Every structure is written in structure tokens, then in C-alpha cells.
Structure 1
């Protein structure tokens, strides 16, 4: 599968989840999910869509190990951060605070690494397809 297609599909899933949470908050009159909703839309929908556009617009070899690392840290980091934030803020499963904190930090750190890898990507692969 091409990187841009994988990222686009993940962005679409995040967009739906973010819109669903927004409509749920509006309907329920509760904004308990506000930070999670915002991060799902920003790091999930917006960032992954922007990455998808980059991979569609610039020539990046499918075999690039840097691209592989970037794409998977972006996907796993966005999942880890948003799920970790949800568990940290609401603790729906009554898990230990230590576990939740570590999960949240690892997710956020993985996402941060993906942003750093994207910086490297833009310097390494800047030749336009068009």
C-alpha cells in the first residue's frame, strides 16, 4: 500500500471519530471530551491528512526506511496520544494512574518523534512529483 493512501484512510477515520465526538458533546451538553476531540482532529485528522498530501506530492521511494518509520510513528503516536489522553482525563476502565500516565507519555513521545522524522523527510525528499 502506498504511504499516502494509508495516511489518508487513517485521517478519514480520525475525522469521523472527531466529528462524532463533537456531535455527541453538542447533543449531550457536556464538554468532557473537548481536549480529546481537539487532539483527535489536530493530530489525527489534520496531521495525517497533511502527511498524506506530502507523500502524494513529493517523490518518496516506497522502500524508504525513513518513510516507514515516519508513517508508523505518526499512526501509532496519534493513537497512543489520543487514547492516553482519553484514559488520563476520564479513566473509564479504572486503571492505575501510573499505567495511564506512562501510556499517555509514550504515545505523546512517539508522536513527537514522528514530527521530528517528518522534518528529516522534508529535507531528504523535496523533489516534487509534478
Structure 2
């Protein structure tokens, strides 16, 4: 699980950097919220989760880790596509942001439960 999280975090990092480069080149920063969320929830959060699971492999082997992985990686694209549409003026994209965000929070809570349950001194 650790390697999967680290590898997918790098994909989000590339997407976030490319989006930042696009905004810089066009001097249009409408997608700043998308850029920030991809870098924070995609790159940083998943990289840190991967490193935590590398240090504590017993937590990485759990069903909770798998559920966190899938919830995080299903919800983030839904939320980011919805957010990109929303900042582009598509008001009907709000529910996608809400659903993606709710699933993301659920995934992060599951990650937290996994950490507290399976990482011991």
C-alpha cells in the first residue's frame, strides 16, 4: 500500500505542477483552488500516508488502508473536476464538489482510525 500511495501522489504532483504552469503561462488564476487542493490532498497527503505506511507496514496491510486508498482516489478527481467546473461558472457542479468532499472526509477519517488502531509504540 505504501508504494501505491507514493506513486499515485507523484501523479497528483505532476498534475498540480502542470496546472500551476498553465495558470502562470495564461496569467489566469481561476483554477487556484483546484491547484491547491490537488497539491495538498493529492501530492502531500498521499505521499505522507505512503511514508507512514512504509514505516508502519502493519497499518498498511489492513482493510482500512485499502478503503482509505480507494475513497481518497475516487473522491479527489470527483471533487476536483466539480471544483474546476464550479469556478468556471457551472453552478450545477456544486453537488460533485459536495459528494467528492464528503467522500474525501470519510476516507481521511478512516485513515485516522487506521493510524490510531494499528500504530502502537
TM-score normalized by the length of structure 2: 0.89
- Give the 3 Å change call, closer, same or farther, for CA 117–78 of structure 1 in structure 2: same
Q: Distance in 2 between matches of 1:68 and 1:79?
A: 18
Structure 2 match to 1:78: 76
Unaligned runs of 5+ in 2: none
Q: Which residue of 1 aligns with 2:117?
A: 124
How far apart, CA to CA, are the structure 2 residues paired with 1:14 and 1:63?
A: 23
How far apart, in 2, do the equivalents of 1:101 and 1:28 lie?
25
RMSD of aligned C-alpha atoms?
1.8
1:14–1:41: 8 Å Cα contact kept in structure 2? yes
Is the Cα contact below 8 Å between 2:69 and 2:107 reproduced in 1?
yes
Conservation of the 8 A alpha-carbon contact between 2:2 and 2:60: no
TM-score by length of 1: 0.84
Give, in whole Å, the separation in 1 of the partners of 2:25 and 2:96.
30
1:63 Cα deviation after fit: 5.1
CA distance in 2, matches of 1:71, 1:58: 16
4+ long deviations beyond 3 Å = none
Distance of 1:47 and 1:62 partners within structure 2: 15
Larger Rg computed on CA atoms: 1
- Structure 2 counterpart of 1:32: 30
How many aligned residue pairs are there? 121
The answer to whether structure 1 residue 104 and structure 2 residue 103 are counterparts is no
